[in-house]
Amino acid sequence: MTKNIITKKIILKLISIMIFFVICISNISAIEKPDLYAKAAILVDNASGKILFGKDENERVYPASTTKVLTAILALENLDLSKSTVISAEAVDLPYGSSNAALKQGEVMNNRDLLYAMMLVSGNDCANVLAEAVSGSIDKFVVLMNEKLKEIGCTNSHFTNAHGYHDDDHYTTPVDMMKLLSYAMKNEEFVKITSTSSYTIEATNKTDSKRVYQNTNRLILTKDDSYLSRYYEYCIGGKTGYTDEAGRTLVAYGTKDDKNLILGVFNVTSATATDLRYTDAINLFEYGFNNFEKSKLMNKSDYSFSYTNHDKNLKYNYSINEDILALSSSDEINSPTVINYDININYDELNKYDINSTDYKNQVIGSIKVNFRQNSYTYDKNFDLVLNSIEKTSILSGNNSFKNILKNIIYVLLIIFVLFVLLKIFTKISRNKKRKLKAANSRSRTNKTSKVNGINNLNFKSRRSRR
pLDDT in tens, 308-350: 888 888 899 999 988 888 898 887 777 788 889 999 998 888 8
What pTM, to 2 d.p., does this model score? 0.77
pLDDT exceeds cutoff 80 at 368 = yes
Percent of the chain with pLDDT over 90: 55
Cα distance between residue 464 and residue 467, in whole Å: 5
Residues 6 or more apart whose CB falls under 8 angstroms from that of 250 comprise 66, 217, 238, 239, 240, 241, 264, 265, 277, 278, 281
CA-based nearest residue to 316, from 302, 300, 304: 304
What is the pLDDT, as a whole number, of residue 296?
85
CA-based nearest residue to 266, from 3, 59, 49: 59
Cα distance between residue 65 and residue 100, in whole Å: 11
- SS3 state of residue 1: coil
pLDDT exceeds cutoff 60 at 279 = yes
- The yes-or-no answer on residue 48 being catalytic is no
- The yes-or-no answer on residue 198 being catalytic is no
Spatial strand order in the sheet of 247-256: 50-55, 40-45, 259-268, 247-256, 235-243
- 295 versus 449: which is more confidently predicted? 295
Cα distance between residue 166 and residue 194, in whole Å: 23
pLDDT exceeds cutoff 60 at 15 = no
What is the pLDDT, as a whole number, of residue 69?
98
pLDDT exceeds cutoff 60 at 450 = no
Neighbours of 304 (CB within 10 A): 13
Rounded to 10 degrees, the C-alpha dihedral 186/190/191/196 comes to: 180
- pLDDT, the chain, mean: 86
CA-based nearest residue to 344, from 151, 150, 91, 136: 151
What is the pLDDT, as a whole number, of residue 427?
84
* Active-site option among 48, 55, 65, 99: 65
pLDDT exceeds cutoff 60 at 396 = no
What is the pLDDT, as a whole number, of residue 460?
46
* Active-site option among 48, 99, 122, 319: 122
Neighbours of 135 (CB within 10 A): 18
CA-based nearest residue to 195, from 239, 232, 260: 239
Alpha-carbon distances, residue 305 vs 16, 137, 155, 187, 320 (angstroms):
58, 42, 28, 25, 9
Which pLDDT tens digit goes with each residue over 217-243? 999 999 888 888 999 999 999 999 999
- The yes-or-no answer on residue 68 being catalytic is yes
pLDDT-based confidence at residue 403 (cuts at 50, 70, 90):
low
E runs forming strands in 244-376: 247-256, 259-268, 292-298, 304-309, 314-320, 324-329, 337-345, 364-374
* Active-site option among 50, 55, 68, 239: 68
Kindly report which listed range (113-117, 223-227, 326-330, 446-450) carries the lowest average pLDDT score.
Answer: 446-450
